[in-house]
Structure 1
Amino acid sequence: MKKKMAILAVALSCALSVNVPAATEKDIDDMTLEELKVEYLKLQLEYEKLKASVEGGTEENSTDEENVTEADESSDQEEKTVQMDEEEFKTDIVNSYNTRSVVSDKHTNAEYNTMTSEELVASYMECAESEREFYEKYKNAAFTDLNIQYLCGQYTNGLAKQYNAQKIWDDTKDYDKFYNEYQSGYYNRAYVIVELSDYYQLPFGDVESMRVDTAAMDSLNEAETRNKAVDHATVQKTQQLLNDIGFYCGKADGLSGKRTVKSIKRFQQMYGYEPEDGMIDDELIGQLEAELAKK
């Protein structure tokens, strides 16, 4: 199997055929997936600019250059990531979550039950907006620890859904549509908070309701049986390797359930291994051992 990064490396090599200055082959091998994406976008834009200069006149080329510059700036904004510190993230997400809890606790359950749709939307959005500073800081964050990067991405994605719920309400005034989007974001956040609490031992406030909700959501899915033929010792070894790398799958008990499969698929996704199937085999164990050795 080849890593996904190889696809972008090939694309970069193809773009070099138009004599656009770019990184050497050694540089490409050293690039991260995000760096390759940005480099490829830049090469695409440079290619379009050179093509326009050959096919069009001076006036047309000038316009094309302006368009390319605007597109380049737009692409940079979309693709730009900021390297962040894992420990700072852990501190910030605890503070953000606990601040939100204070806002949420302003009303009792009895008060929520008597609110109108407009009042509920306003209350929910006040909670979400209390994490706006965290969202803006971490929405484009990149981390050396890929599991932290995954968790951060899931959490900010959950917040983005909740902010989008406001737009749905403004456009439709349909509370059910608003709530479905908002709750979808809640589950993104809940899974992250539970994992950070259980595996990283972060000092969140009360997360028991999130733990109950995520367990209930998992129970709605079918039983996980894809690794039922794998022997106990191999499953246990896989689980221990996942935990050692940072892809928490719970206690290494030799039983491949939903959490184990989810952690395998997350590892495959973040490190670019295909297929992302959650299956345990010798190849997966080799990949896990190789990545752990690098750490």
Structure 2
Amino acid sequence: MNGREGSLVLINGAIAPTLQTENALIRLRLLNQSPGRYYNLMLEKHSMIVIATDGGFVNTPYPVDSLLLAPGERYEVLVNFKQRGDFSLMNMPYARGRKGIDEPIEMEGMDNMQNMDMTTKSTGEGSLMTLRFTGSRQAARIPERLNSIWALNPKDTVHRRTINFTENMGMLSFSFNGKEFDPNRVDIRAKLGTVEIWELINNTDMDHPFHLHAYPFQVYARNGKPEPQPAWKDVVNVKPKETVQILIPFKDFTGKTVFHCHVLEHEERGMMGAIEIVA
């Protein structure tokens, strides 16, 4: 019950498109619009340099060999081509927990890309698109700093909340703190101008991408390990049995909004809550 994935993956509405460029350095905006599919992206023979997340530029760009995008999550990356040729943007295997009520969890490892079929499998693994570089190699100069995000301090928070991710597979229901969504109920009331720390505790046996509307947050720590640099996010993936701490500044406006799992079927089966910001 990980959410519907379907048999095809579209990139900007096309199946397995080719992007041709003469530019040695390109910028890609990656957005996971799938309702339930995760993308564990790897670019053949190249690393990617992360320059932005959901909420804008990061402070310091950083290279990655692979990049996991949960539903609703966004990243911007730079690619500096090393040579001319065709290079596959691959969706690599990712074990995200339970797949169905009685279906076993697959724990397939990430083999090197030379041993992987370059066609898209029915699971969505394989080549998603081709980047074709026809220009001349040129080493790019990447700025050392792109932003000046101040890290929020847990000592400045006025409230600590616990959000438990819960499920009842017998009823095919998902919830926060054991309560399915009720549009007539406000689950959390927060005060304008304050900062809160929320502990997202995933008690289920599958990943859940947590999304908060209207109020960007900073991921502070995962299982007690602080994040290497602050960044503004509105979606964070929480793995099975994982605890993620986020810091949320409630500013600019009052009113009601929601937080929910970004896997569509999980949200529709109850994994959503309402929050009201008051003056």
- Could you state the TM-score of these two structures normalised by the residue count of structure 1? 0.24
- Could you state the TM-score of these two structures normalised by the residue count of structure 2? 0.25
Per residue, is there more helix in 1 or in 2? 1
Per residue, is there more strand in 1 or in 2? 2
Larger Rg: 1
Q: Which has the higher contact order (CA 8 A, sep 6+)?
A: 2
